[in-house]
Amino acid sequence: MTSIYSYDGKSDIGYQKSINEDFIDAVELDERTLLLFVADGTNSDPDGGLQPASIAIHEMGTMLKRIFEKSASAFLMNPELFLTEAFEFTNRILMVFTAANKDRFAGFGCSLACCLIYQKENQTCATVVNAGNTRFYLIRLTKGTPAIHQLTTDHTRASDMVLTGQISEEEYYSHLDRLVLTSGLGILPEPKLQILDNLSIKKNDILLMTTDGIHYAIRPEALSDIVLQSGTCSDAAKSLIEAAKIEKYPDNMSALIAYIP
């Protein structure tokens, strides 16, 4: 199988961290249909090495691939339904760990963004579901000038404060409550999901997914510049991580980039 999309990503332990709790993956359902995942785990099991981000992406990818193989047409007719069901199913799996052993698995969860890229009536489309403070960006040329658009909203206490005018968008990046999640998998019985359905992807669009170790260290315009100045998706991911390390942001760092070449 050879995908019509160009994509690559990288996950790194980052700055001042002893373990990498981020996880990324890409699943080619067929040459025209691609699943992308970026997850940021919390409270991984120190004894057994169990990683909530890895578990979440594996379970979600396995479930969605099985559904697609049974009926690709049904899957692509209503992708947001199957993606949200996969999020809810995975949330229940992670919460079982905490219920089974609260001392060992308290807070065992993750932020997770999933993007499905597919073809619909000769048009490239994307459906995105996000929970937590992972992000999905769209870099698009407008009248010849590139602009980056953050299409997801962080599910954090500080993000709520920005929306209500208590702090500014710039203050958000130094506010401690940017790390306090109000949604995510394994955190709430009914997590709040942000769903971006049937996004139209145009020629020259670039899709960027990141964990907070990247986007809390680097502002959106700089993210766009780094990606556009890179030769490949792999180069872009590496450059984003290197830039975040220069800022000495103390977190794991992951980035995933995709476009149609």
Decide if 42 is inside a domain.
yes
pLDDT, average across residues 25-30: 98
Decide if 29 is inside a domain.
yes
Decide if 252 is inside a domain.
yes
Structure confidence at residue 194 (pLDDT): 98
- Digit-coded pLDDT (tens) for 60-97: 999 999 999 999 999 999 999 999 999 999 999 999 99
Structure confidence at residue 46 (pLDDT): 73
Decide if 30 is inside a domain.
yes
Decide if 1 is inside a domain.
no
- Digit-coded pLDDT (tens) for 239-260: 999 999 999 999 999 999 999 8
d(CA 132, CA 142): 29
Report pTM.
Answer: 0.96
Helix (H, G, I), strand (E, B) or coil at 108: coil
CATH of the domain at 255: 3.60.40.10
Please name the residue ranges forming H helices in the chain: 52-70, 72-77, 79-100, 102-105, 157-163, 169-172, 212-215, 220-228, 233-246
| Domain interval for residue 208 | 6-259
Decide if 47 is inside a domain.
yes
Decide if 90 is inside a domain.
yes
Report how many domains make up the chain: 1
